Structure 1
Amino acid sequence: MKPPLILQNIRNKPATIWATSAAIALVNRLIYTLTIACIPDLLQRSMQVPRASNGIITAAFGIGGLLGGGTIGYISDRFQTRLIPQLTAAFLYVVAGIVFFFSKQFYQIVIFRVILGVASSIADTMLFTTVADVYPAKLLGFKMAVLFVFDNIGNMMGPILGGKAYEKMGVGGIGIIAMGLGVAEMLMILVFVRNSLDIRRSLTRCITVSQATSASDVLVIESTVVSSVPSSSDLEKPAAVKDCVSLDTPSVLESTGAEDNDRAQGVPVWRILLKLQVLGPTVSIFVATGLQSVIETVFPLRLFDRFGYSPEVIGVAFLIVGGILILAMPLVGWLNDKAVSRLGEHMRYYMISLGALFMLVSLVVTAVAPSYSVLVFGYAMFGVTSMVAIVPAQSAFGDFINASDEGGGMAQAFSLAWLAEGLANIVLPPAASGLYATVGWLPMLLALGGGLCVACAVAVMAFPLRCIWRSRQESRQVN
């Protein structure tokens, strides 16, 4: 049975993909942050768990992220579907809510976080992938920033909602909220969402360069109509040609849906990762999201130890930070697109490096904060500067796949972001909580944050610096 014509029109629009992805980003972060404010009280007071175990909770989320993010990219590209993974993520949110509803022991909380990690990694990979499927690469900065706006709305609302639900109904209240959000997401996907690859192929078939009636039509075609067929020959091109030219030389291929289904086998994710223009952004996401998880893990402990705040009051701190991020994110995305359109794709890498250095400054402010207000200001500053790194990093994945003609590897490229985040959540929060328990807040934050931010800047700048060096070498040979 076909849906009504008006609903078909809605489902066929790229804007619907963008809007539903924003809603999924909201649900994803909301469910994740429901437990942030209550974790110290739940584990330390109710379950009598040592504080060093708080990092295990975040690590469990990272393990789930690796499981989901490590497989969903290949599955989605191999079988040319985005819809089934999205429904799977929503269903897993419901399962996670059920597990948390019945949680009375520490191991049950760990299982909840593993399931939540799998669901979040699938949802995050798909929401970024679907938007990159249907929008021009050079507009991805603003599109990604808006997704992060809704992500931060969830980050702002989750601790408040979770803190109040926990104080009034205990773990059962949080479990009910998670189940309800999962069911709502499933219904939204079933009603409004169409496989973004079908929309991509429809644009390819229906709009051709010969049919263009204006320069704007040609721009849409050149930016949007790219093949979703993986090309192994492009990955085998000489590095001097492939790495340094592909970002600024988008190709236009026309293919049919039949050709896509016959040839789309998916590009091995490790081959994508070996490209410097992908490796640098992946490292930056590891650092930025890892440090974010570190602060989310230790920040409530700091407020609890230093000021004795309740879960509800701790949630207010996240509310303040989330509000600041919501205001800042569109500006970050807009500036990113402006810089790229005027100065070229390589500007993404310079912006990521600046974001890493700004993160280090914000961590110093957070580490030495003498009062609650300065502590929250430092955290908010870190949130904004981390987005200066993450937004262009996420956009770089879509740029690389579209420009290098590797459309079949889109989901796998974006799954690298979750692989990096999952690994960061496994390694960094347990280390941070252990260091916090032994050496304290200031040494932990400065040592961990300083080393990671510097490493991030170096890794990201490797690609543009190599291109500059090769360009000079070629100039010398010509002269």
Structure 2
Amino acid sequence: MLARIFGGDKPPIGLKYRASNWFIVSTVTLSVFTDVFLYGVIVPVIPFALRERAHVDEDRVQYWVSVLLAVYGAGLIVSSPICGFFSDRISARRWPLLLGLIALLGATIMLNVATSVPVYVIGRLLQGISAAVVWVVGLALLADTVPKEMLAQYIGYVSLGMTTGFMIGPLLGGVLFTKAGYNGVWALCYAFIGLDLVCRVVLIEKKDARRWATEEALSMPPQESTSASSGNVHRTASNEAEADAEAEAPDAEDITETLPQTKPTTKLRKLRSHLPPVITLLASRRLLAALFASIVQASLVASFDSILPIFVDEKFGWGSLQSGILYLTIVIPTLASPIVGYFSDKYGGRLFCFVGFLLSCPLFVLLRLVTHNSLSQKVLLIALLVLIGCAMTLLFPPIMAEITHVVIAKEESSPPGAMGKGGAYAQAYALFNVAFAVGTLVGPIWAGLIKQNYGWNTMAWTLGLLAGVTALPCLVWVDGSLRKSKRKVFSRRYQNESNV
């Protein structure tokens, strides 16, 4: 029976559905949601646990809360590149995902039963490591699975899972802690981990499914179906990436890669073939622009964690429940993330990133207008937060899809195999993960310290300025160099006129 479920000589039960795009995307989305949800759901619980269970003095609670946040970020930042390096060198994505979930379960148990500060610290560190596995390996699995021309649309669903978990985690944590007590919060955590475990165990990767694949057994994208019908059913993930790269127009980073091959260029390409893929990726200005955009976007979203609850308490007298509900104003617009991804795939991500950051600039600055307690001021704050949520929704799908597009462009402009046996998707998303983690650390510190020392108004315009400045590199580098794009357009026009 187990052989029929997990596969043997015969196709496993439900192969068509377990290896389908929608199930793999749903599993990755659920994994991201579970990770982010577990990060946030315990935020209202930690101060109580430190006081009552770890016997931390009242005046030291804030300090240790900050330390636990920093430890999580440190685990995420340090382990992400390691996960990316090893993930691109093994054939399976599912097994690292399962190991990451085991680490998350261990972290959750430790945080649940902890009665001392060191155990809390180790639990949060382990939570950060498991988050690195989910983000790096999960997004690489997504890039392996879906057609590249639809990547941003599918990433929109992942974005929806992330923002939903990020925003409702603290809200449900506070409600459960109030209504069901300390263990009630952890019961919900275990429920999500159990559901996530079932999905990760049931999932079958596309490359594994091709052992039994037929037209009836597996729904594959058109380019994969064509390859399977010609007998090439044992393609590796790196072969798929190369095939996808060949189908797209070249978008090489450096001008030398677009010129006729010369002796210096040949030497340069040979030198690049001996460099680690992560170094080659970091030499890309296009990728650096996407990583900078990731840092800023995460900083803008995470900045509300340290300022919004305190601000609405000071101005409107709202408690934790009202401030938690207020976060929904930012979450609801993210329901449109798949739609944004669809149009980003169709028209490119440059315009969406540019407009998203450009709109965020005045919206953050206008937060200065919320100055006193009145109905009109509450409506103004809610309206601004909804619009900020809309602007943030324009950013996440195209930025994450840009990471994959950069890898494809680099594979096109590099010697065969230079980006590694399995490509460099996991390493690229490891860099994205590090950038996003840096943003989640920088945002709350930036907003909290500026508000504390210089006031709400200064905090608002500095965040707006940060968003506005980020719009420029997005305009220039997302989807490739803007100068090169114009050059290609003029070249096509010239060729058309010559033909006429």
CA gap of 1:58–1:364, structure 2 versus 1, over 3 A, is: farther
Pair 1:34-2:48 in alignment: no
Match of 1:251 in 2: none
Q: Choose which of 401, 406, 413 in structure 2 pairs with 1:395.
A: 401
In the alignment, the residues of structure 1 paired with residue 437 and residue 177 of structure 2 have an alpha-carbon distance, to the nearest angstrom, of 27
Q: Judge conservation of contact 1:362–1:382 (CA < 8 Å) in 2.
A: yes
In the alignment, the residues of structure 2 paired with residue 168 and residue 320 of structure 1 have an alpha-carbon distance, to the nearest angstrom, of 24
Letter in 2 for 1:8: L
In the alignment, the residues of structure 2 paired with residue 402 and residue 200 of structure 1 have an alpha-carbon distance, to the nearest angstrom, of 23
SS of the aligned residue for 1:78 comes to coil
Letter in 2 for 1:13: S
CA gap of 1:17–1:57, structure 2 versus 1, over 3 A, is: same
Residue deviations 1:221-271, cap 9 Å, x none?
Answer: xxx94339999xxx9x882154899xxxxxxxxxxxxxxxxxx99953232
Shift of 1:74: 0.9
In the alignment, the residues of structure 2 paired with residue 2 and residue 362 of structure 1 have an alpha-carbon distance, to the nearest angstrom, of 56
Pair 1:290-2:299 in alignment: yes
Q: Choose which of 150, 156, 161 in structure 2 pairs with 1:150.
A: 161
In the alignment, the residues of structure 1 paired with residue 195 and residue 152 of structure 2 have an alpha-carbon distance, to the nearest angstrom, of 28
Shift of 1:273: 2.2
Q: Judge conservation of contact 1:156–1:318 (CA < 8 Å) in 2.
A: yes
CA gap of 1:90–1:265, structure 2 versus 1, over 3 A, is: farther
Q: How does 1:295-334 map to 2 (within 5 A)?
A: 295-326=304-335, 328-334=336-342
Shift of 1:402: 3.4
Match of 1:8 in 2: 15
Q: Judge conservation of contact 1:69–1:122 (CA < 8 Å) in 2.
A: yes
Q: Judge conservation of contact 1:55–1:433 (CA < 8 Å) in 2.
A: no
CA gap of 1:273–1:380, structure 2 versus 1, over 3 A, is: farther
In the alignment, the residues of structure 1 paired with residue 39 and residue 3 of structure 2 have an alpha-carbon distance, to the nearest angstrom, of 35
Match of 1:378 in 2: 384
Match of 1:408 in 2: 423
Normalising by the residue count of structure 2, what TM-score does the alignment of the two structures yield?
0.75
Match of 1:221 in 2: none
In the alignment, the residues of structure 1 paired with residue 288 and residue 208 of structure 2 have an alpha-carbon distance, to the nearest angstrom, of 29
Pair 1:423-2:431 in alignment: no
Pair 1:458-2:465 in alignment: no
Match of 2:344 in 1: 336
Match of 2:108 in 1: 97
In the alignment, the residues of structure 2 paired with residue 36 and residue 461 of structure 1 have an alpha-carbon distance, to the nearest angstrom, of 37
Match of 2:416 in 1: none
SS of the aligned residue for 2:88 comes to helix
Q: Judge conservation of contact 1:152–1:322 (CA < 8 Å) in 2.
A: yes
In the alignment, the residues of structure 2 paired with residue 127 and residue 292 of structure 1 have an alpha-carbon distance, to the nearest angstrom, of 22
Shift of 1:70: 2.0
Shift of 1:278: 1.5
Shift of 1:65: 1.6
Shift of 1:325: 2.3
Alignment gaps of 5+ in structure 1: 213-223, 246-263, 341-347
Alignment gaps of 5+ in structure 2: 6-11, 214-219, 232-238, 261-272, 372-376, 412-418
State the percentage of identical aligned residues: 20
Match of 2:227 in 1: 208
Pair 1:19-2:36 in alignment: no
In the alignment, the residues of structure 2 paired with residue 229 and residue 79 of structure 1 have an alpha-carbon distance, to the nearest angstrom, of 20
Match of 1:217 in 2: none
Shift of 1:308: 3.3
Q: Judge conservation of contact 1:52–1:433 (CA < 8 Å) in 2.
A: no
In the alignment, the residues of structure 2 paired with residue 334 and residue 91 of structure 1 have an alpha-carbon distance, to the nearest angstrom, of 34
Match of 1:132 in 2: 143
**RMSD (Å), alpha carbons:** 3.9
Shift of 1:457: 2.1
More helix by share: 1
Shift of 1:395: 0.7
Q: How does 1:259-274 map to 2 (within 5 A)?
A: 267-274=276-283
Q: Judge conservation of contact 2:148–2:244 (CA < 8 Å) in 1.
A: no
In the alignment, the residues of structure 2 paired with residue 106 and residue 197 of structure 1 have an alpha-carbon distance, to the nearest angstrom, of 44
Residue deviations 1:334-387, cap 9 Å, x none?
Answer: 2212323xxxxxxx2232122111121221233433433332332332222123
In the alignment, the residues of structure 2 paired with residue 195 and residue 392 of structure 1 have an alpha-carbon distance, to the nearest angstrom, of 24
Q: Judge conservation of contact 2:19–2:205 (CA < 8 Å) in 1.
A: no
Q: Judge conservation of contact 2:144–2:241 (CA < 8 Å) in 1.
A: no
Number of residue pairs aligned between Structure 1 and Structure 2: 435
Q: Judge conservation of contact 1:61–1:114 (CA < 8 Å) in 2.
A: yes
Q: Judge conservation of contact 2:155–2:341 (CA < 8 Å) in 1.
A: yes
Shift of 1:158: 1.9
Letter in 1 for 2:482: L
Letter in 2 for 1:99: M
In the alignment, the residues of structure 2 paired with residue 58 and residue 25 of structure 1 have an alpha-carbon distance, to the nearest angstrom, of 18
Match of 2:127 in 1: 116
Letter in 1 for 2:177: Y
Residue deviations 1:135-167, cap 9 Å, x none?
Answer: 121111211112222223323432332111222
Q: Judge conservation of contact 2:34–2:165 (CA < 8 Å) in 1.
A: yes
In the alignment, the residues of structure 2 paired with residue 148 and residue 244 of structure 1 have an alpha-carbon distance, to the nearest angstrom, of 38
